[in-house]
């Protein structure tokens, strides 16, 4: 397949000023007529370039230029393009195509699922609707007329404002929408279906009233309130923090069940995976509520970072995604708890982005090449991209960052631009020099920082020498030294922060200092340090790097108990717990050594019983690194053996549960729901600590604990408690488990999102041989391989939540996965490729598993008709 390179980018040869679309939606064929006002790009010297439009899976019916039919010898079509020769300098082009949305299982372009017509055009889906220059730097004003059966599709929506509507005959009606803002084709949207909506209003800071609507299927009308409140909070936050106001008179969100990703920021008409809209306490967990708030905000924030200022080409994806993730992270921090949000974001960065950056798909945040753009909606582009923005924010400060954002919008509103334009605006607004910093966009891989520290008793100085290196990545063996901001604090013996004074400064400046690393090795000297300190390095995770600080376990326990930086406090605890478990896996310490267990249990107990710490923070500290996280850490020095890791982690959690049984029981009782269910941060934290206690108790598998879990399951009035109890039971082989699983199904069989939880809980069960049950569930009437949420719930949960059984030495888990990938390859290549990524890290495992996974990759790549999506992932994994 063809590889696209950033270096080959050329501006478009033609501009499209206006795009008039006409959809005739029918049950078997949909007709799409487009009328485009086209103008040659006179900046290009060659005036003879033909007009090349993108198009895929389209049946071309007519082509007209300036209203006259074009003879077939004047154009050419192949499977990817329509090329028209000898076109005038400016003209109108009319193209009519025929498509079959009801057969489109890729969920890209215009598709019909669950009786609803809807679109997904990012990244390159518009070309499956009509012939068009389907690239983000061609921005056009759109109008869209939709005609459809009135009874089946009473709601007809597109971007912008409703201009007109009416009936064509007795049964069919039409609606015309017009979007006053120019936009790239990937932001086009259409929805037609039998939907209902809730409506609210938002008054912008300049006093305009905006209508807000959330459209859902009839039975979900009672689950939209939280999404609406989240939207209003996001609108207010963007005005307060960035001065950004919404620009149309109406903002619409539509929830659909069949969607490849989380949501899509189409101008004025967001389309959402229903998972990120629908919630009420009985059906959605606390995490679901938070995710809805975050995703609603994310898509709303795109209106400025992505839509008003868009991308010059897809290599710049992080320009909108990294920046918008940063904005949604900041929003969530302000709505909930900043340290807790930071901890969960870093946990996910380390679990998913760091391995990606060390694997065969490693790519810079601004990639240099791709085969299939859909494969580049990655943790690197999104999450590492957000870390880059966060570093700029730290380096320039809050005010400086805001000045940079203002300049960015002033310069580029209405344009398609690059990450370079963004950094330049930040630099120019602050007279800053970010030249070396730009390497974060172009170099792949996670930098590693080691630190040597020395205390000079005589001079009362303390020096820290940092050395940075970045391991090679595919196609990039040599890396340059990066500009890395490292936030540091020093703790005295009593655990208090010391005032910090660097050599050369005349007085101490605060208790956290930002050290800017520019060189491979760099030393910083602190003066007036009156006793040997314990350093707190990389506070707040100030840069996305791997830190090799060589702390002793005594220092880690000390930092866990005392660090004023909550992120670093949590991190020290995780390193401490992970270090012990890894030593056990590697046979460096014996499992049953009472001193070892004591060393873990004591700090654990202290944290569990703390009355000062926030309960959400306690839950994070006491959630031990998962089997996957331990695997990632081990893989830095040795091959992964999932069986050994599973045994050690199970042993430790069991030992903790046994030693602290009484404490867990007390915590469980003390944190029961008092009064009405609430979703404020404090109530969520209380529930998470209570359910963490229950999950430790569950390790004991006693009749008494089973009874407690059953009781919670039966009495729960909210999904958080219900699913937590079911989760505990799901790992214990007992009749109560079977009953709870059946009861849950009977209770929720009509709610497809709740059933996703039911599939996922079973897929994550630690009961040996669970794969047979999962295979059986593939044939369950409520499972559908065509629905990405169902695939993620059953198939991805098995690989992600159950690494021990997925990596079973029989190879059955691997074979199961290959079968699903090949099945999906023909249905939905985007989802198939995501699944195929599970084998990316095969080289990190012990030899027998390596061999088994490699054989699966070879089987996939040798299958005829493998999609470009899957090919790209698998071929890179095999290099």
Task: Choose the binding region for ligand HT7 from 78-86, 91-99, 117-125, 215-223 (rule: CB under 6 A).
Answer: 117-125
CB count, 10 Å around CB of 682?
A: 12
Q: Of ligand HT7, Zn ion, none, which one sits near residue 856, judging by CB under 5 to 8 A according to partner kind?
A: none
Selected binder of ligand HT7 within 34, 96, 120, 257 (CB under 6 A): 120
User: Which residues from 733-752 bind Zn ion, rule CB under 5 A?
Assistant: none
Q: How far is the CB of 374 from ligand HT7 (least distance, A)?
A: 5
User: Applying CB under 6 A, does 265 fall inside the site for ligand HT7?
Assistant: yes
Selected binder of ligand HT7 within 377, 455, 651, 745 (CB under 6 A): 377
Q: How far is the CB of 321 from Zn ion (least distance, A)?
A: 5
Cβ proximity to ligand HT7, 260 vs 332, nearer residue = 260
Selected binder of ligand HT7 within 260, 344, 580, 628 (CB under 6 A): 260
Per DSSP, what are the bridge partners of residue 526?
462, 502
Start-to-end CA span in the chain (Å): 16
Q: How far is the CB of 377 from Zn ion (least distance, A)?
A: 9
Q: Measured in whole angstroms, how far is the alpha carbon of residue 696 from the centre of its chain?
A: 29
Task: Evaluate whether 560 touches 572 at the Cβ level (below 8 Å).
Answer: yes
Cβ proximity to Zn ion, 217 vs 328, nearer residue = 328
Token pair listed for 427: 């630099």
CB count, 10 Å around CB of 161?
A: 14
Token pair listed for 327: 């904005």
Q: Of ligand HT7, Zn ion, none, which one sits near residue 264, judging by CB under 5 to 8 A according to partner kind?
A: ligand HT7
Q: How far is the CB of 460 from ligand HT7 (least distance, A)?
A: 51
Task: Evaluate whether 484 touches 468 at the Cβ level (below 8 Å).
Answer: yes
Cβ proximity to ligand HT7, 337 vs 378, nearer residue = 378
User: Applying CB under 6 A, does 372 fall inside the site for ligand HT7?
Assistant: no
Q: Of Zn ion, ligand HT7, none, which one sits near residue 123, judging by CB under 5 to 8 A according to partner kind?
A: ligand HT7
Task: Evaluate whether 869 touches 860 at the Cβ level (below 8 Å).
Answer: no
Of 299, 356, 427, 722, the active-site residue reads 299
828-839 residues labelled b (16+ CB within 10 A) or e (exposed): bbbbbbbbbbbb
Cβ proximity to ligand HT7, 36 vs 264, nearer residue = 264
Residue of 550, 552, 504 lying closest to 527 (CA atoms): 504
Selected binder of ligand HT7 within 122, 421, 566, 629 (CB under 6 A): 122
Task: Choose the binding region for ligand HT7 from 115-123, 523-531, 700-708, 737-745 (rule: CB under 6 A).
Answer: 115-123
Cβ proximity to Zn ion, 321 vs 421, nearer residue = 321
Window 321-340: contact mask with ligand HT7 (x via CB under 6 A) = x-------------------
Per DSSP, what are the bridge partners of residue 84?
51, 75
- What CA–CA distance (Å, rounded) separates 615 from 377? 34
Cβ proximity to Zn ion, 297 vs 793, nearer residue = 297
Token pair listed for 834: 């995501």
CB count, 10 Å around CB of 208?
A: 13
Please give the DSSP secondary-structure letter assigned to residue 309. Answer: B
Task: Evaluate whether 585 touches 648 at the Cβ level (below 8 Å).
Answer: yes
Window 606-635: contact mask with ligand HT7 (x via CB under 6 A) = ------------------------------
Cβ proximity to ligand HT7, 261 vs 817, nearer residue = 261
Q: Measured in whole angstroms, how far is the alpha carbon of residue 190 from the centre of its chain?
A: 24
Please give the DSSP secondary-structure letter assigned to residue 551. Answer: -
Q: How far is the CB of 382 from ligand HT7 (least distance, A)?
A: 7
Cα 99 to Cα 8, 112, 176, 653: the distances in Å are: 32, 11, 20, 56
Cα 4 to Cα 126, 373, 441: the distances in Å are: 19, 9, 18
Active site residue 299: yes
Q: How far is the CB of 306 from Zn ion (least distance, A)?
A: 7
Q: How far is the CB of 263 from ligand HT7 (least distance, A)?
A: 6
Cβ proximity to ligand HT7, 267 vs 849, nearer residue = 267
Window 149-188: contact mask with ligand HT7 (x via CB under 6 A) = ----------------------------------------
- What number of chain residues touch ligand HT7 (CB under 6 A)? 14
172 exposure class (CB count in 10 Å sphere: 0-12, 13-18, 19+):
middle
Q: Of ligand HT7, Zn ion, none, which one sits near residue 571, judging by CB under 5 to 8 A according to partner kind?
A: none
For 578-598, give the DSSP string: HHHHHHHHTTSS-TT-HHHHH
Length of the chain: 879
Cβ proximity to Zn ion, 345 vs 565, nearer residue = 345
Cβ proximity to ligand HT7, 512 vs 828, nearer residue = 828
Task: Choose the binding region for ligand HT7 from 255-263, 532-540, 589-597, 818-826 (rule: CB under 6 A).
Answer: 255-263
Q: How far is the CB of 125 from ligand HT7 (least distance, A)?
A: 7
Residue of 537, 565, 449, 461 lying closest to 505 (CA atoms): 461
Closest CB to ligand HT7 belongs to which residue? 261
**Angle 566-585/594-609 helices, nearest 10 degrees?**
160
Q: Of Zn ion, ligand HT7, none, which one sits near residue 760, judging by CB under 5 to 8 A according to partner kind?
A: none
Token pair listed for 289: 């509520």
Query: H or E stretch including 623?
Result: none
**Angle 566-585/338-348 helices, nearest 10 degrees?**
30
For 92-114, give the DSSP string: EEEEEEEE-GGG-TT--EEEEET
User: Which residues from 292-331 bind Zn ion, rule CB under 5 A?
Assistant: 321, 324
Window 628-667: contact mask with ligand HT7 (x via CB under 6 A) = ----------------------------------------
Window 282-311: contact mask with ligand HT7 (x via CB under 6 A) = ----------------xx--x---------
Q: How far is the CB of 302 from Zn ion (least distance, A)?
A: 6
Q: Provide the Cα torsion 322, 324, 330, 333; round to 10°.
A: -100
Check the CA dihedral 868-870-871-872 and report its sign. Answer: positive
* Diameter of the chain measured on Cα atoms: 95
User: Applying CB under 6 A, does 113 fall inside the site for ligand HT7?
Assistant: no
How many helices (H) and strands (E) the chain has is answered by 29, 31
Please confirm whether the linkage preceding 123 is cis (ω < 30° from 0).
Answer: yes
Q: How far is the CB of 438 from ligand HT7 (least distance, A)?
A: 23
Task: Evaluate whether 168 touches 153 at the Cβ level (below 8 Å).
Answer: no
Task: Choose the binding region for ligand HT7 from 257-265, 496-504, 644-652, 699-707 (rule: CB under 6 A).
Answer: 257-265
Strand, helix or coil at 360?
coil
Q: How far is the CB of 109 from ligand HT7 (least distance, A)?
A: 11
User: Applying CB under 6 A, does 374 fall inside the site for ligand HT7?
Assistant: yes
Per DSSP, what are the bridge partners of residue 486?
515
Q: How far is the CB of 261 from Zn ion (least distance, A)?
A: 9
Q: Of ligand HT7, Zn ion, none, which one sits near residue 9, judging by CB under 5 to 8 A according to partner kind?
A: none
Token pair listed for 260: 């490849």
User: Applying CB under 6 A, does 264 fall inside the site for ligand HT7?
Assistant: yes
Please give the DSSP secondary-structure letter assigned to residue 613. Answer: S
Binding region for Zn ion (CB under 5 A)? 321, 324
> Where do contacts with ligand HT7 occur on this chain (CB under 6 A)?
120, 122-123, 260-261, 263-265, 298-299, 302, 321, 374, 377
List, by residue number, the catalytic residues.
299
């Amino acid at each position: 397949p063809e590889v696209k390179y950033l270096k080959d980018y050329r501006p478009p040869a033609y501009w499209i000023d206006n795009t008039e679309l006409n959809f005739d939606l029918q049950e078997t064929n949909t007709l799409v007529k487009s009328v485009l006002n086209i103008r040659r790009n006179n900046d290009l010297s060659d005036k003879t370039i033909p007009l090349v439009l993108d198009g895929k899976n389209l049946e071309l019916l007519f082509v007209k230029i300036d209203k006259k039919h074009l003879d077939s010898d004047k154009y050419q079509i192949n499977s990817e393009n329509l090329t028209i020769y000898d076109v005038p300098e400016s003209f109108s082009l009319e193209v009519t195509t025929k498509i079959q949305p009801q057969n489109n299982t890729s969920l890209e372009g215009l598709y019909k699922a669950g009786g609803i017509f809807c679109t997904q055009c990012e990244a390159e889906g518009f070309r499956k609707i009509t012939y068009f220059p389907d690239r983000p730097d061609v921005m056009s004003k759109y109008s869209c007329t939709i005609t459809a059966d009135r009874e089946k599709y009473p709601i007809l929506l597109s971007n912008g404002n409703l201009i007109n509507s009416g009936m064509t005959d007795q049964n069919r009606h039409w609606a015309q929408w017009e979007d006053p803002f120019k936009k790239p084709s990937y932001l086009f949207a259409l929805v037609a279906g039998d939907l209902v909506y809730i409506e609210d209003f938002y008054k912008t800071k300049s006093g305009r009233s905006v209508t807000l609507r959330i459209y859902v299927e009839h039975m979900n009308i009672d689950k939209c309130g939280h999404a609406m409140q989240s939207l209003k909070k996001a609108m207010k936050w963007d005005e307060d923090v960035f001065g950004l106001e919404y620009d149309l008179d109406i903002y619409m969100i539509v929830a659909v069940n069949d969607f490849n990703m989380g949501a899509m920021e189409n101008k004025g008409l967001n389309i959402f995976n229903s998972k990120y809209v629908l919630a009420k306490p009985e059906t959605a967990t606390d995490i679901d509520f938070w995710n809805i708030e975050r995703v609603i905000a994310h898509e709303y924030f795109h209106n400025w970072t992505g839509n008003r200022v868009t991308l010059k080409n897809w290599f710049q994806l992080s320009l909108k995604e990294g920046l918008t993730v940063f904005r949604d992270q900041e929003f969530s921090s302000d709505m909930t708890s900043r340290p807790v949000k930071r901890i969960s974001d870093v946990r996910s960065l380390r679990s998913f982005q760091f391995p990606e950056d060390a694997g065969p798909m490693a790519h810079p945040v601004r990639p240099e090449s791709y085969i299939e753009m859909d494969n580049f909606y990655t943790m690197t582009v999104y999450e590492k991209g957000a870390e880059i923005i966060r570093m700029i924010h730290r380096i320039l400060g809050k005010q400086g960052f805001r000045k940079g954002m203002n300049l960015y919008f002033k310069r580029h509103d209405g344009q398609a631009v690059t990450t370079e334009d963004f950094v330049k605006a930040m630099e120019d607004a602050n007279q800053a020099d970010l030249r070396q910093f730009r390497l974060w966009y172009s170099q792949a891989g996670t930098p590693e920082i080691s630190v040597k520290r020395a205390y000079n008793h005589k001079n009362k100085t303390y020096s820290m020498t940092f050395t940075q290196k970045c391991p090679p990545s595919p196609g990039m063996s040599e890396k340059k030294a990066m500009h890395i901001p490292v936030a540091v604090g020093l703790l005295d013996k009593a655990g208090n922060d010391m005032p910090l004074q660097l050599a050369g400064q005349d007085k101490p400046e605060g208790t956290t200092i930002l050290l800017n690393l520019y060189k491979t090795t760099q030393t910083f000297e602190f003066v007036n340090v009156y006793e040997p300190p314990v350093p707190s390095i990389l506070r707040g995770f100030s840069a996305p790097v791997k830190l090799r600080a060589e702390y002793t376990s005594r220092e880690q326990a000390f930092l866990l108990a005392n660090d004023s930086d909550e992120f670093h406090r949590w991190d020290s605890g995780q390193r401490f717990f992970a270090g012990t478990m890894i030593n056990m896996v590697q046979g460096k310490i014996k499992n049953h050594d009472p001193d070892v267990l004591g060393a873990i249990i004591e700090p654990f107990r202290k944290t569990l019983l703390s009355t000062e710490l926030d309960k959400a923070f306690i839950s994070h500290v006491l959630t031990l690194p998962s089997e996957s996280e331990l695997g990632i850490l081990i893989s830095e020095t040795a091959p992964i053996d999932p069986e050994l890791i599973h045994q050690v982690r199970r042993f430790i959690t069991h030992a903790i549960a046994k030693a602290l049984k009484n404490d867990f029981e007390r915590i469980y009782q003390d944190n029961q729901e008092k009064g009405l269910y609430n979703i404020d941060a404090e109530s969520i934290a209380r529930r998470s600590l209570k359910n963490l206690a229950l999950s430790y108790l569950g390790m004991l598998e006693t009749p008494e604990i089973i009874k407690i879990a059953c009781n919670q399951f039966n009495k729960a009035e909210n999904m958080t408690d219900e699913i937590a109890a079911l989760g505990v039971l799901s790992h214990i082989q007992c009749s109560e488990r079977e009953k709870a699983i059946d009861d849950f199904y009977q209770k929720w069989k009509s709610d497809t999102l709740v059933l996703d939880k039911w599939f996922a809980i079973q897929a994550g069960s630690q009961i040996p041989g669970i794969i047979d049950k999962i295979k059986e569930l593939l044939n369950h009437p409520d499972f559908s391989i065509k629905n990405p949420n169902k695939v993620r719930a059953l198939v991805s949960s098995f690989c992600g939540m159950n690494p021990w059984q997925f990596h079973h030495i029989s190879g059955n888990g691997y074979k199961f996965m290959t079968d699903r990938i090949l099945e999906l390859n023909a249905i939905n290549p985007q989802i198939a490729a995501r699944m195929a990524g599970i084998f990316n890290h095969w080289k990190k495992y012990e030899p027998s598993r390596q061999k088994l996974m490699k054989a699966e990759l070879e089987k996939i790549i040798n299958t005829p008709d493998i999609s470009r999506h899957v090919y790209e992932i698998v071929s890179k994994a095999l290099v």
